[in-house]
Structure 1
């Protein structure tokens, strides 16, 4: 059987399993050799060589498989790592991810808050659950699917209490699946569009999948489609060929854009572009939307809101005035632009304004017949050539988005201090991901990439002594201006920020490499271990980032020190749990445990001087 995706809808006639969409017509042909398996294994070996601290081969494959399974969703390295389960009682799932309108849900997501008001989200918001199973073996087994099916039946039953689920599955599994369960409940009155994916990845050959596995897969996709009336389900198998093809595909930031008429002045262009040509500009080689060209846009797609419905109506209504009369148009920035006949060639392109229009055009027209009248309508596109001048590009982004209501937090990445941190990191072999996944997409090692949220968490934990905030507020840590200004300040030297990034990465790598550390412990304790390590290096509690300046110049954290710090935090957590009766995750998210840690007497830390 070829690599395939099974689909099912909860309120429609089930498609026969044999109607799975084939990724590659030639996949069913006999294969004399499996070069893709050799190449895939080489990729895994190279990735392991890039790690400062080795991790178990099975866990490395799980990370890799989850990354490839959700490749089109453009998750960051940290978002992927956070969703990997690991350990026992995983229910047959190695990765679990919940997404709302293509944004990863975390424990502090707005939709999960106790005071959440459902009307804040548009009707028919897109809620997705991704369940990933990764096996390093060279085959696909029916037993693996049976286990996933049995677990999904319980985990997706909203009448099952979390307390009961915790008796059967690890806390990591229950907490990850609860993000989806809680979001589904919270959005019930908004009639969300629900999609459940099950992706089974191995080093096997999908054309060799036997009939029993096929039947079990069909049963599973029907089961998943029944999670709620109207839900859609997909079951996908990824073997060595498919995994290799995904990892080998590199997003292109060079694009061609055909136009009808244009005006050029200096480094700016204004062009009228037919919608058929703009759809081509938005499409990847496989026909999917190139989401990565919107990474600098400060908004996410809002889905089926009134403004997008109006855009869709004006696209399809050929009797209405010209579409570009009714729409503000698109703003694109790029490093260079040239024209050949009636075509622009644009390098390092980003759509910085007009995301709602772009998504709506793509959704309405990407699958219509070539003769559809709407394809000959036009949209106005502004092309601004900023070269390598990042400051100018950031000013454009801020200016074009200040004209409408945008939360200040959405524009953080364009701040001067963020650009300075990126430049300093780059000069020292590190990559600060102001533009989500940009460095990974151009082939940089994830071991050297750090995102804005992760650096903020490191500063909050080590520099401000609040690891509870780092643990409890992963996505909202910088939403408040006062928090942002404390974390990112001109008074903090750039080398201190680099030291914080390197230290947190080293701590995370250490926790991943220690087989005694469970996935839940990594999630709960990583920032508390960081706080304790920083305190022992400095010799006192750290409550201001400036206290780390001399440490950043003179000291590093060795793995031996981290073992000791981990045991200190573990013992303190056990003692605190006995006294309070709280669960480990509640302890990690609360300020009382931080006060408890701060009250303990620690011996000074013998720092590794890098020799």
Structure 2
């Protein structure tokens, strides 16, 4: 890689995610996937799950299928979102990345051929297990096409370390290929982008740096003093000026500003249609400030400079719906269009939680939306922090998305999200690894009353997550085969049960001893290898295919029996 700055960014990414040992091209693929999807998807996501390289990948290196605002990894999740929301909103993102310093027309055509093959009814070429699983998701979506709000969007990204200068011959080839895709009638829109070194650097800077914006806000008024709040303001802000807060350098909606907004964008709801009609009514735009509940922003730093205000590290915690509709109507906004904006400066997470709860009660929210705001999760977070100093491989529980971004000493690979915590605990402690293919909100709802209870021991959650984290690290480094990746929660289950039985006194696990044991790299790898062998042998005995096996309780039961025998033999 000739671009030294880009190389340093890629190295930083590799260090943050503990993948330094991977081949340079593999690291770059993951870096490209992370950068591209970070612009498409505002929440935390497992970039490793986007990777589909490694042969029989039909010229695809990364794929993200986003359904109703969530990256989907299993086809069953489509049915869940349809049941819960009544309709589907879908976008497909495909990425091909090359270390080559030039954009190659033949490689781009090969990438587009892979896209056309993926959206064909039957593949004309061999496909990897990853691609087959993605095809199942795609088929589940189009089988429910009557429930689509509109046809899915298709975003294509060809990434290179060179400089994109839009050569006419490549643009002509792309235009011709996209016309063929468009004529299939499968998509509401198709967008193709060549992402070069400068664009990659710009995106990565945005993901790593704090958001700082300055806007004209002459009408703001200070609110009374509030405990835990440094200062707060409310005022009538121009809608055009507000757009500056929520758009990025490309003029696109900066979706990561809404990660604390628990409701997400709900699409074509009656409330959003009403806002849209008001904006399109011309002279009625001035009524937005009266009829709308307003928008709430929480910032870690607020500076008032004459008629301007400067916000640092801020989030839109209420007003996601209004913000999206304003953005969609940005071309027709008039000078008389205003919204009521409330700004709160605080670094107190409890204040932020209270504001989020208070300002998001107007409409129904998802079952998991407020889960991590409860006291039990705060206690878990503190327990993780307390353990960090004593662990060779520390982990940190992230109650609020991206709360550890920019925190010295905490790497991305050490952070456990709410989704990962739920799936790790359900796999290990509730013995349900076969259920983890479902959306984590559905898993949480079906196990309500069995987890995140005040009487629960924090050690169980921590151990389950620590094992999951170590398994994922080994998977990234190639120690665990890609085909075994889909059984990672079965491995979590096996390792958890092994350690709590082997390191037990008077029938109770000694967690301090277990923590030290899983930090011993060679020993841990040996236990993982034994667990992998158990999974492979169980599949052979049951004569069951791998996709079915991951969802089968019969496999879990057999693994449990074999584990008990192994532990008994070891104790003898």
Scaled by the length of structure 1, what TM-score is found? 0.80
* Aligned residue pair count: 550
The answer as to whether partners of 1:254 and 1:347 remain within 8 angstroms in 2 is: yes
Specify the alignment match of 1:27 in structure 2: none
The answer as to whether partners of 2:499 and 2:514 remain within 8 angstroms in 1 is: no
Specify the alignment match of 1:130 in structure 2: 93
Partners of 1:574 and 1:261 in 2: CA distance: 65
The answer as to whether partners of 1:537 and 1:551 remain within 8 angstroms in 2 is: no
1:65 Cα deviation after fit: 0.9
| Structure 1 position 84 matched with structure 2 position 57 | no
Partners of 1:128 and 1:305 in 2: CA distance: 19
| Structure 1 position 464 matched with structure 2 position 430 | yes
Question: What RMSD over aligned residues (CA atoms) do the two structures have, in Å?
Answer: 3.3
Determine which structure has greater relative contact order: mean sequence separation of CA pairs < 8 Å that are 6+ residues apart, divided by chain length.
1
CA separation of 1:119 and 1:351: change in aligned 2, threshold 3 A:
closer
Specify the alignment match of 1:505 in structure 2: 469
CA separation of 1:405 and 1:582: change in aligned 2, threshold 3 A:
same
CA separation of 1:437 and 1:499: change in aligned 2, threshold 3 A:
same
SS in 2 for 1:67: helix
Partners of 2:203 and 2:528 in 1: CA distance: 37
Partners of 2:117 and 2:153 in 1: CA distance: 18
Give deviations 1:261-301, integer Å, cap 9, x for gaps: 53522244321112122222222233222222211111110
Partners of 1:80 and 1:118 in 2: CA distance: 26
Q: 2:554 aligns with which of 568, 592, 600?
A: 592
Partners of 1:46 and 1:276 in 2: CA distance: 37
Q: 1:222 aligns with which of 162, 179, 182?
A: 179
Partners of 2:16 and 2:59 in 1: CA distance: 29
Give deviations 1:107-140, integer Å, cap 9, x for gaps: 2665335x9459812xxx6421111112233333
Give deviations 1:392-413, integer Å, cap 9, x for gaps: 2212211222343224421112
The answer as to whether partners of 1:109 and 1:476 remain within 8 angstroms in 2 is: no
1:179 Cα deviation after fit: 1.8
Specify the alignment match of 1:489 in structure 2: 453
1:569 Cα deviation after fit: 4.1
SS in 1 for 2:27: helix
1:148 Cα deviation after fit: 2.7
CA separation of 1:184 and 1:197: change in aligned 2, threshold 3 A:
same
The answer as to whether partners of 2:502 and 2:567 remain within 8 angstroms in 1 is: no
Partners of 1:449 and 1:176 in 2: CA distance: 26
Specify the alignment match of 1:58 in structure 2: 25
1:572 Cα deviation after fit: 3.7
1:171 Cα deviation after fit: 1.5
| Structure 1 position 445 matched with structure 2 position 411 | yes
| Structure 1 position 48 matched with structure 2 position 14 | yes
Specify the alignment match of 1:379 in structure 2: 339
The answer as to whether partners of 1:196 and 1:224 remain within 8 angstroms in 2 is: no
Partners of 1:139 and 1:75 in 2: CA distance: 30
| Structure 1 position 402 matched with structure 2 position 402 | no
Instruction: Indicate the larger mover: 256-265 or 459-468.
Output: 256-265
1:191 Cα deviation after fit: 4.9
Specify the alignment match of 2:229 in structure 1: none
1:247 Cα deviation after fit: 1.3
CA separation of 1:142 and 1:336: change in aligned 2, threshold 3 A:
closer
Give deviations 1:39-66, integer Å, cap 9, x for gaps: 1222223443455563333322211110
1:570 Cα deviation after fit: 4.0
1:565 Cα deviation after fit: 4.0
Specify the alignment match of 1:153 in structure 2: 116
| Structure 1 position 358 matched with structure 2 position 323 | yes
CA separation of 1:119 and 1:552: change in aligned 2, threshold 3 A:
closer
| Structure 1 position 245 matched with structure 2 position 213 | no
SS in 2 for 1:247: helix
Specify the alignment match of 2:496 in structure 1: 534
1:90 Cα deviation after fit: 0.7
1:188 Cα deviation after fit: 3.0
1:425 Cα deviation after fit: 3.8
1:477 Cα deviation after fit: 4.9
Partners of 1:331 and 1:578 in 2: CA distance: 56
Partners of 1:55 and 1:261 in 2: CA distance: 52
Within 5 A, what are the aligned runs for 1:59-458?
59-74=26-41, 78-107=45-74, 110-113=77-80, 116=82, 120-121=86-87, 126-157=89-120, 159-160=121-122, 168-207=126-165, 213-228=170-185, 231-249=188-206, 250-257=208-215, 258-262=217-221, 264-267=223-226, 268-320=232-284, 322-365=287-330, 367-368=331-332, 372-373=333-334, 375-385=335-345, 387-426=346-385, 428=388, 430-440=395-405, 445-458=411-424
1:316 Cα deviation after fit: 3.0
CA separation of 1:485 and 1:549: change in aligned 2, threshold 3 A:
farther
Specify the alignment match of 2:391 in structure 1: none
Give deviations 1:501-558, integer Å, cap 9, x for gaps: 333221111122126612x421x1212122222222223699xxx8573445543254
SS in 1 for 2:329: helix
Partners of 1:568 and 1:87 in 2: CA distance: 25
Give deviations 1:113-172, integer Å, cap 9, x for gaps: 5x9459812xxx642111111223333333433433333223202x33xxx67x720121
1:454 Cα deviation after fit: 0.9
Partners of 1:327 and 1:172 in 2: CA distance: 45
CA separation of 1:494 and 1:581: change in aligned 2, threshold 3 A:
closer
SS in 2 for 1:402: coil
Instruction: Indicate the larger mover: 52-61 or 83-92.
Output: 52-61
Instruction: Indicate the larger mover: 144-153 or 388-397.
Output: 144-153
CA separation of 1:64 and 1:484: change in aligned 2, threshold 3 A:
farther
Structure 2: any 5+ residue segments left out of the alignment?
Answer: 227-231, 389-393
SS in 2 for 1:409: coil
The answer as to whether partners of 2:260 and 2:317 remain within 8 angstroms in 1 is: yes
Partners of 2:186 and 2:434 in 1: CA distance: 39
Structure 1: any 5+ residue segments left out of the alignment?
Answer: 1-33, 607-611
SS in 1 for 2:235: strand
Partners of 1:433 and 1:227 in 2: CA distance: 43
Partners of 1:80 and 1:52 in 2: CA distance: 13
